[in-house]
Structure 1
Amino acid sequence: MQAILNLIDRIIGSTGVVGAWLVAPLVLASCYEVIARYVFNTPTIWAFELGYMLTGANFLLGMAYALRERSHIRIEIFYQHFTPRVRAIVDILTYVVIVIPICAWLTYGLYEYAINAFLSRETTGMSAWNPPIWPFRVSFALGFLALALQALAELIRAIQILRNGVEHDSPDVADDIFTHQAETP
């Protein structure tokens, strides 16, 4: 079971890294747009749309990573005073009743939404650039799939805590696929 949890943590860590790296082209595009607009008086036709797509993909791919790192907002006024087993019960109910079903439903619906955009060759329709919208919509489905996967891992951890009463630390960022170094014997 631990091998599955480690694999999920590595996959989610990698989606977090990909999401984080989307900030670099976002910053470059924004800087280029500002210089082109205010220094050369020639605004781009693509910077706005690229900006909202990269920002959205960054957010969507970062949701699961935030869950893995326990960075989501939670009402701590009561939760922090619970025993590890009571927190595990609250987490199990939350993941089983709310998070996993909603993420699975959204993943399926957003996957269909992206496929339909691809098949119909739908474009954004927001600017003269007018790029295809399906890559952005794929990031929707991938983001919620990753969140469902991480919620499943957190559910398994909560069940383990319920069984043995011991909480584990969140995974180390060094376990991500992109930063993982092969161990030498």
Structure 2
Amino acid sequence: MLRLLDGVSRAAAWAAAVLFALIGLFVTYEVVLRYVFHAPTTWVEEVSRILQIYGVYLAAAWLVATRQHIRIRLLTGRLPPTGRLWCSRFALLFAAAVGVFAAWNAMSLMQFSLMMQERTDTSLALPMWLVQWPVPAGCALLALHALALVGHSFVDPDRLLATEAAATVSAD
């Protein structure tokens, strides 16, 4: 299960990276058109915002998987490995709970938007569910990955501690 989630999270993170690169290209395109040719677009701002939502929520599970999300190690860094392991498990369970809560509420909002046939109030008038769906999808994937890491930590606790150590080294 964890290997499958790793693959899905990695693919989602790559997709997020592509989306962020596209945002950069679109904004550059807009700047050139606006300030060089005096012909601004009507779609770049909205599409860039939507792609940013997609990118953030697609990358969230990968950040959990690689332990790159924000953590404060003031106290846990002084604990022995067993204490760090249990703190990591607790933090992952908390992240999973937040992910489930956010996914559930975002799904409710998305269902309401579908029922009401809401659209963005911009020139593109996109369906709101199209803008909203990455939130429940990304939060659910984050929660699944966090729970899988907790479960796997009882089989291979060294993996969780190793990703913890790798994240510490790369952050310094």
Query: TM-score band (shorter)?
Result: 0.7 to 0.9
In 2, the alpha carbon distance for the partners of 1:14 and 1:85 equals 32
**Residues 23 and 58 in structure 1, CA contact (< 8 A), matched pair in contact too:** yes
- Kindly indicate whether the alpha-carbon contact (under 8 Å) linking 1:88 and 1:159 is maintained by their aligned counterparts in 2: no
Identity %: 24
CA distance in 2, matches of 1:158, 1:88: 8
Are positions 1:119 and 2:110 aligned together? no
Question: Per-residue displacement from partner, 1:151-183 (whole Å, max 9, x unpaired)?
Answer: 11221233335xxxx51244xxxxxxxxxxxxx
CA distance in 2, matches of 1:118, 1:42: 35
Is the Cα contact below 8 Å between 1:92 and 1:159 reproduced in 2? no
1:85 — aligned with what? 82
Distance (whole Å) between structure 2 residues aligned to residue 121 and residue 24 of structure 1? 31
Equivalences for 1:17-166 in 2 at 5 Å? 17-96=14-93, 98-125=94-121, 127-160=122-155, 166=157
Within 1, Cα distance between the matches of 2:124 and 2:19?
Answer: 20
Are 2:164 and 1:167 equivalent residues in the alignment?
A: no
**Which letter maps to 2:140?**
L
Q: Over aligned residue pairs, what C-alpha RMSD do you find? A: 1.8
The 1-side partners of 2:115 and 2:42 are apart by 25
From the two aligned structures, give the one with the greater helix fraction.
2
In structure 2, give the amino acid aligned to 1:105.
F
Whole-angstrom CA distance in 2 between matches of 1:6 and 1:139: 22
SS at match of 2:78: coil
By how many angstroms is 1:25 displaced? 2.2
Relative to the length of structure 1, the TM-score reads 0.78
TM-score, normalisation: structure 2: 0.84
Aligned residues: 161
**Secondary structure in structure 2 of the residue aligned to 1:142:** helix
Gaps of 5+ in 2: 164-172
Distance in 1 of aligned mates of 2:31 and 2:115: 35
Unaligned runs of 5+ in 1: 171-185
Kindly provide the amino acid, as one letter, of the partner of residue 137 in structure 1. Answer: Q
Q: Give per-residue Cα distances to partners, 1:54-95, cap 9 Å, x unaligned.
A: 112111111111111111121122212222221121122233
